[in-house]
Structure 1
């Protein structure tokens, strides 16, 4: 079980880091307003809507179910077969939302979204002091209470029945906290970039 957790954590961290480094995080966070938007209430951008759909796609979904949920075709970026397990990765792009979905034998087992810059930071500014208060074993709700806002799901995997989820809390300048929650829903690891 320890080897499984280690493998899962390594896969999740690799996916999260490679995705964060592989896509431009300096994309514009402003979207073109639609004609149906009023001056008082701005409708969510296509990217924000895609993010909400991304969060709600369940593990085990087929390619067709993911395509239908997101409303766009995916682009095959990787395919292999090892020990009778066929693995395929597809990139889906909706406005500024870039998502990678990995399927094993036709069932979704990993999903990632790059550059959450199109999402507006919620809550107050997060600090290094808050980051230092977060400890392994804490629940999502405990972390949320320390940081004062909801995190944004950036990567989720389910391998050999073990689920792991990466959540990001981001300041408007790009400084952030990334926390991995394991199968039990508690903090497995944490990292920060640029906090003061």
Structure 2
């Protein structure tokens, strides 16, 4: 009788063990599902934060770009700069501080050159002596003249002519490259491009009259 009882109890123990295994597997499965769900939730939140951060970064860059446009040198601002202006006046015109290039002092005269950049590849340098503009020069800031120089036009330009006379010969305004004032005398360099690539005519006016001229690669 005791043997039968032992034999009959074995299946019951095996059944309990099997049930225990099933329960453990179920718990592990539920735990895994919860972990997966939590991870998904965190991932979603992180993704949201990332999207927000990216959007914020984009807005910041865009705002910075818009702001920088107002602090760059351009053709209109360059034209407004006049000899005798102070650094603060030039700064107000351009909308930002310039980058100091050089400073030197000879006797009681301090000379400082500042640089401002345009939105493109252009650059303008303004020279101050004792905080007064004595020179401005630019490259790639002003719009190029629509009037084209030719060798025939260049040969008609004579020393002593006024700017308006040269303008009539060339057929339009030149591009102001530099404007200098030294000891009460002014010197302005204008450039007219030619028809072929790289060709040009450069004419210097001292106190309003042609004092020198040079050309490179002009045709006709």
- Report if TM-score (shorter chain) is over 0.5: yes
The two structures, once aligned, show a CA RMSD in angstroms of 2.1
Q: How many corresponding residue pairs?
A: 148
Match 2:165 to one of 142, 147, 150: 142
**Mapped pair 1:179 → 2:193:** no
1:19-168 matches, within 5 Å, as: 50-96=74-120, 97-115=122-140, 119-123=143-147, 125-168=148-191
Tell me how far 1:52 sits from its aligned partner. Answer: 2.0
More helix as a share of residues: 2
Q: Is residue 149–residue 194 contact of structure 2 (8 Å, CA) maintained in 1?
A: yes
Task: Specify the alignment match of 2:22 in structure 1.
Answer: none
Calculate the TM-score normalised by the size of structure 1: 0.70
Q: Is residue 200–residue 217 contact of structure 2 (8 Å, CA) maintained in 1?
A: yes
Tell me how far 1:115 sits from its aligned partner. Answer: 3.3
Q: Which runs of 5+ in 1 are unaligned?
A: 1-44
User: Greater Rg, structure 1 or structure 2?
Assistant: 2
Q: Distance in 2 between matches of 1:107 and 1:73?
A: 15
Tell me how far 1:120 sits from its aligned partner. Answer: 4.1
In the superposition, relative to structure 1, how do residues 132 and 159 fare at CA in structure 2: closer, same or farther (>3 Å)?
same
**Residue by residue, what CA displacement relative to the aligned partner does 1:114-139 show, whole Å, maximum 9, x if unpaired?**
135x724413x321111011000011
Calculate the TM-score normalised by the size of structure 2: 0.62
**Residue by residue, what CA displacement relative to the aligned partner does 1:125-154 show, whole Å, maximum 9, x if unpaired?**
321111011000011111011110111111
In the superposition, relative to structure 1, how do residues 140 and 177 fare at CA in structure 2: closer, same or farther (>3 Å)?
same
**Residue by residue, what CA displacement relative to the aligned partner does 1:29-53 show, whole Å, maximum 9, x if unpaired?**
xxxxxxxxxxxxxxxx99x971122
